Amino acid sequence: MSPTTHLDVATRKGLFLLQRAADGNWRIDGTAFLAESVTMVLRDGRDGLLYAALRHGHFGVKFQRSSDGGAHWEECATPLYPDKPEESDETTPWSLDQIWALEAGGVDQPGRLWAGTLPGGLFRSDDRGDSWHLVRSLWDRPERANWFGGGYDHPGIHSICVDPRDSDRVLVAVSCGGVWQTEDGGDNWRLTSEGMFAEYMPPERRHDPTIQDPHRVVRCAGDPDHLWASHHNGVFRSTDGGNSWSEVPNVAPSVFGFATAVAPNDPATAWFVPAVKDEHRIPVAGQVVVARTGDGGESFEVLRAGLPQEHGYDLVFRHALDVASDGEELVMGSTTGNLWSSQDRGESWQAISHHLPPIYAARFS
């Protein structure tokens, strides 16, 4: 297990590259794209390349790549939706709005990248972002007509989990369109939202697997059949590779949230950052806390040491909580620009910064 040496933070106003200082604390070592919206970052452990997805307010989405750790960048290809058929009557625009998820393919697939996007397309690159292809086998599924926006106006893919045992097995999660899996690198897809439900929907649609709203799905690296999901209705867990899901009702102080992390070395240990549900989306009672289970969701501890406990209105977005490969260290970034780390599995938190731009993603590598 290689030690964690980098922490990359994508924000509303730029990319921040942190390194661990001699005293063990994280320091901002570099910046890029200041003032630009950076929706996602990926440092590829296979070849060291660093990728950043930008969302210019006026000029659209752009995809950037650095081969020297962020000192220099080059614009590479941007995923491009095909021409919308003239006969199509769907309201979803066939135009890239945001790269919402970005993951490396398997170690046996050098150069392969997966990009999940708004308005719902999954893209694949096999040449480190020099070109992209819309995965039509998912985009053309008739069930996509049932998808709808969750938080954003249109559907989006925010979670991509490559199975470390078999790189052709990939799970993606859609807000709002359920959980989908391929076993052949994306040629065919299965809808695997069984067990998820949505109490906020009309009764006859509550168990409809095509409209489920998983906010975030993560896979345990060391035990890949175990996955956790924050869903609009609450927390769900799978112990069979994401084929079926069961509710985890005991999350305190609330079951609603976005950020989700699972210990890479213990599938029963997971972290969440609860909030008041639905349209409120602020911490319960103005107290920023992390909920942790160590027993597969049977019980939860509410962890708050070092976090604001009075008039705290930080929301932690779905990609802004990460756990390091040692299963001990965590990082969490908020919409208020707070960036915290924990060295003790979330028991206590130390601020890295209190004044970054709103944080979209924080990733260890």
CA 23 to chain centre: 30
Beta carbons of 102 and 123 less than 8 angstroms apart:
no
Contacts of other proteins in 158-217 (CB under 8 A): none
Phi, psi of 65 (to 5 degrees): -140, 140
Contacts of other proteins in 114-153 (CB under 8 A): none
Beta carbons of 162 and 106 less than 8 angstroms apart:
yes
How long a stretch of residues is the chain?
Answer: 365
Q: Is 316 helix (H, G, I), strand (E, B) or coil?
A: coil
Nearer to other proteins, 94 or 313 (CB): 94
Quote the least distance from Cβ 91 to other proteins, whole Å: 14
Beta carbons of 257 and 274 less than 8 angstroms apart:
yes
Q: How many residues bind other proteins (CB under 8 A)?
A: 17
Quote the least distance from Cβ 74 to other proteins, whole Å: 11
Nearer to other proteins, 130 or 187 (CB): 130
Give me the sign of the Cα torsion angle 142, 241, 316, 20: negative
Contacts of other proteins in 46-105 (CB under 8 A): 56-60, 62, 75, 78, 80-84, 93-96
Question: CA-CA distance, 246 to 237, in Å (whole number)?
Answer: 5
Quote the least distance from Cβ 56 to other proteins, whole Å: 8
Quote the least distance from Cβ 75 to other proteins, whole Å: 7
Question: CA-CA distance, 93 to 362, in Å (whole number)?
Answer: 29
* Preceding omega of 119 cis (within 30 degrees of 0): yes
Quote the least distance from Cβ 304 to other proteins, whole Å: 36
Nearer to other proteins, 84 or 136 (CB): 84
Nearer to other proteins, 12 or 46 (CB): 12
Strand order in the sheet with 113-118: 98-104, 113-118, 122-125, 133-134
Nearer to other proteins, 48 or 93 (CB): 93
Quote the least distance from Cβ 35 to other proteins, whole Å: 9
Question: CA-CA distance, 168 to 65, in Å (whole number)?
Answer: 24
Beta carbons of 130 and 149 less than 8 angstroms apart:
no
Quote the least distance from Cβ 95 to other proteins, whole Å: 4
Nearer to other proteins, 92 or 365 (CB): 92
Give, in order, the Cα–Cα distances in Å from 256 to each of 40, 232, 316. Answer: 23, 6, 12
Q: Is 277 helix (H, G, I), strand (E, B) or coil?
A: coil
Quote the least distance from Cβ 149 to other proteins, whole Å: 16
Nearer to other proteins, 60 or 249 (CB): 60
Nearer to other proteins, 9 or 61 (CB): 61
Binding site for other proteins (CB under 8 A): 56-60, 62, 75, 78, 80-84, 93-96
